[in-house]
Structures are given as C-alpha cells and as structure tokens.
Amino acid sequence: MAMAEGDGETAPHVALLSSPGSGHLIPLAKLAELLVHRHGFTVTFILFADHAQSACLRSFPASSFSSVQLPPVPLDDLPSDAQVETRLAAMVERSAPGVHDVLRRLKTTTHLVAYVIDIFGTATLPAAKQLGVPRFLFCTTNFFALSFLFHLPELDRTTSCEYRDLPEPVAFPGCLPLRGEDFLQPIQDRTDDAYRCVLDICRGIREVDSILVNSFVELEPAACEALKSERPPAIPVGPVVTRNRREDTAKGDHSYLQWLDYQPRGSVLFVSFGSGGTLSTEQMRELAFGLEQSGQRFVWVVRCPNDRETSGAFFQLSGLGADDPLAYLPEGFLARTRGTGVVVPLWVLQVELLAHPATGGFLSHCGWNSTLESVAHGVPMIAWPLYAEQRVNAVLLSEGAGVALRPKKRTGLVGRETVAEVVKELFEGEEGKRVREKVQQLKEAAARAAESEDGSSYKALADVVKKWKNGTDTVVDA
C-alpha cells in the first residue's frame, strides 16, 4: 500500500506507528478502522521493514488506511542472545529519522492532527514534538501493566536487589500486590540491556499528551480510577478487538472448525501461546501428556519448541521450513488422542475458534489481544504466561478479574499432573464454574463499554477524536 497523498487534505488525518509483532499491529489496525469508519478520519500506518506487518495489514479492508514502510535498519551488531525488547528498542531508535521524514511529508499533504504510537515507539516522540504534532500512546495492554510502568523508575531508584528476590509483594496504585517473580519478564535481570530499554520506555510514556488504553472500566475499575489522575491521563477505550467471524474461512485448511461443529457445546479446550510464544521441548511433552491425561477435548496450536527462550517465534514463526512441530510430540500421542483432540501446526483462525459454541476454555499465554478476544466471546481461561508483561496479565485475570485459573506451579516445569488437574477444574470444578460465570458478566460489560453509544469506552474515544478534530486541548479526562 502506498502512502496517501492529496486525498486526505480536508479530513482529519492520524499517523500510527506499530512496532513489529501482531500483538501491537492488530489492535492498532482495529483502532484505525474505528477512526476511519466511525469518526471519518484518514489514517497512515508507519511500518517497519517487516514483511509480516505488511501482510497483516493486507488482511484488513483496502480502503481503511494507507501505509508507508520505513527503510530497514541494521541490527546485526546486537548480541545474538539479545532479548526481544532490546531488538525492538534498537529498531525503533534507529528508525526515528525515517519517522521524522514521514511525519514531515504528512504535515504537508494531509490535515495531520495526531501521531499515535504503541508502547515501543517512544524514541520517535521527539520527531513529532519538533514538528508540532500532538502525541498519543495506544497502550495495547491494560491499566495494571501501565501502572507498573509508571512506577517502575521509582522502584528502580529505591531497590537494588533483583525483583524476584523482594521479600514482599509490591502494591502499585489501584492494582493487586504483585510478587517480584510476576514482574515483567525483561526486567528480571537488571544487568541485561532489556532492563534499560524498559526504563527508557517508562520515562518516554510520560511525554505523550494522553494514553488510550485497550481495556475497559469493568475489567479493572480500581486501576482505571487510579490512573485518571496521572499525567498523562490514561483513558479506557477498549476492548478494541475483533469479535465477528471473517468471511474468508473457506480459504485454507480449517478442518478443525469442521471438527468443532460435531463437539458438544462448551466441551473443547483451545490451547495456544500466541504468535510469538514457544515452550521448551520438555514442557511441550508434559503439556501433551497432561492434556491426554485430562481426557478433555482440545484444539492445540503447536509450534516447534525452543529451549533457550519463551519468545522464540516472535520475529519469525518457529517451525517454518523443514522442521515439523508435530515431530516433537510424544510418540503415539496423535494416535491416542484421535477423536478427542486436534493438533494444528503453527496457526489457526483464533477469533473464529473462540466464537465457536463448542469452545469452553482457553489455555492461553495471556497476551492481551488473546485475553480480550477470550473475554469478548465469554471464554474462561487457564493462565500460562510466557514473556513480556504476561505474568502481570495472569495475576490480573486470575486474582483480580476472576476470569482465569492458574496452575499451582507458577515457575519452572509444569508437570502433566498439574496440567490435567487445572484443565479438569476449569471444566468440572467449582472454581471453574465461578470463572465461567464471571467471564460471561464481563463479556456483556465489554460489549456495552465499547459498542454502545452510551458505553464508557465508546464515549471516551469519541471525546478524544472530537478534540483531535477541533484542535483543542488534547489532554482528555477519563
């Protein structure tokens, strides 16, 4: 897609920067659709030199927005074991001059009223400030994680030990006390470059005019209230999420959807660790044995294991090429679970699967997009966090919102007996019953908040875009 030039001279225009990874791009694209179709904006996406980003945007209606791709930047000087956050930070920082050039062109060819970044885009904010473009952050996670980022610099200043060694949980405003072992994965080693990158992000998010948060009041009311008084203020505009089935389900092999058609209502566990998550070889085997031992119907999205990192598929889908992810399953597993479970290599139509009436649970990595999709479709979860802020999300979902169960063993290898126990509890136990009831309540609340004209998130976003259009004070109270 080419950058829009000339056709957006009268309509208000917004530029959006998405860091690599579908977890950031997809919600930003859904936000862009709302801006275009509900509020009459034109939109330009600023993309990194990443084929996957361009391919993802092509799945949205062609008329929704245009895009421009930044020149590639070298990353081969980074250590081979650099964490995802380090690689993303370097990519964004080195691309800042290119972002400046794009914004400067958009200022002359469109009625540019706002520049919106995701959480990794803070290194590009000086370019927008220099050009006089109002700056906003679309937080693609929740108020709990955002509160953590607001207050991490103070925690960094007042503590010296590794956070996992803190003797007591830490309470952030409006949030549940958080154990050190559940802090963000990239800050678990304070000597790693990723830690510095996260601290830079914490300082950078203070430089925007307002923060739009992909969450809603009923999901985390105390944190939402607490962050209204922060500067910049945090505004609930979610869930910005895909709810409806797409029309392209006839394309490709989606036999797992046909299999679901023959399963009892609410009887199937969906197992997936997102587009970037990977299990170790041993953990993959224990999960397989646990699913088998539980006797529960399941659909499992399988990728090749990675024994070094839990985000091994983030920049490239693990398993592409000659390596077959099914080869890592225990011998005879597919034969023994035939009829009870379906194993799908690499990828499924997740929204369609969550929307299917046979789906009764989601064993999830707790990525925020997957979480919101699960809540929006009323599907209770088993929290199995892997990387990034996913442990924070798991605490919110299991101990706060009450829409997820969590295996009793939280760190290290989760054995097959523990897997079977938590799966059975979700579908058959009293805790599982309470979780199912709670997620149904939040499903209804999510729809009201984001889709009803008098919903809290609907009105909050309308207030933001009204100020964008009028060019008035861009600091919006939630």
Tokens of 226: 């607490």
- pLDDT tens for 328-371 read 999 999 999 999 999 999 889 999 999 999 999 999 999 999 99
Question: Do residues 182 and 394 lie in contact, with contact meaning Cβ atoms separated by under 8 Å?
Answer: yes
Tell the residue number behind the tokens 């964008």, with chain if given.
468
Set 37, 50, 101, 118: catalytic member: 118
pLDDT tens digits for range 178-189: 999 999 999 999
Mean pLDDT for 12-24 is 90
Average pLDDT of the chain?
A: 91
Q: Identify the pLDDT of residue 225.
A: 95
Confidence of residue 321 (pLDDT cuts 50, 70, 90): very low
Closest by Cα among 427, 186, 180 to 309: 186
118: annotated active-site residue: yes
Domain spans in the chain, listed from the N-terminal domain onward = 12-242+451-470, 255-446
255-446 CATH pick, 3.40.50.2300, 3.40.710.10, 3.40.50.300, 3.40.50.2000 = 3.40.50.2000
Torsion of the alpha carbons at 110, 115, 121 and 127, rounded to the nearest 10: 70
pLDDT at residue 152 in the model: 97
Question: What's the mean pLDDT in 280-293?
Answer: 97
pTM of this structure? 0.93
Q: Give residue-wise pLDDT tens across range 66-80.
A: 999 999 999 999 999
Q: Is the dihedral of CA 359, 361, 366, 368 positive or negative?
A: positive
In the chain, the percentage of residues whose pLDDT exceeds 70 is: 91
With 50 as the cut, is the pLDDT of residue 289 above it?
yes
Question: Which of 4-40 are b and which e, b meaning 16 or more Cβ less than 10 Å from the residue's Cβ?
Answer: beeebeebbbbbbbbbbbbbbbbbbbbbbbbbbeebe
User: Within a 10 A sphere around the Cβ of 108, how many other Cβ atoms?
Assistant: 9
Fold of 12-242+451-470: Rossmann fold (3.40.50)
State yes or no: pLDDT of 151 exceeds 60: yes
pLDDT above 70 for 381: yes
Percent of the chain scoring above 90 in pLDDT: 81
pLDDT at 170 over 50: yes
Q: Decide whether 12-242+451-470 matches 255-446 in CATH topology.
A: yes
* pLDDT interval class at 473 (50, 70, 90): low
Whole-number Å distance between alpha carbons of 141 and 27: 10
Q: Find the mean pLDDT for residues 61-66.
A: 74
Cα–Cα distance measured from residue 263 to residue 299, given in angstroms and rounded to the nearest whole number: 11
Least confident segment among 7-16, 419-428, 449-458: 7-16
- Model pLDDT, residue 384: 97
- In degrees, rounded to 5, the angle at the alpha carbon of residue 246 between the alpha carbons of residues 244 and 247 is 135
Choosing from 13, 24, 356, 377, which is the catalytic residue?
Answer: 24
Annotated active-site residue 477? The verdict is: no
Residue 136 has pLDDT above 50, yes or no: yes
Lowest-confidence pick of 42-51, 123-132, 135-144, 211-220? 42-51
* Alpha-carbon gap, residue 452 to 439, rounded angstroms: 19
Confidence of residue 6 (pLDDT cuts 50, 70, 90): very low
Neighbours of 181 (CB within 10 A): 14
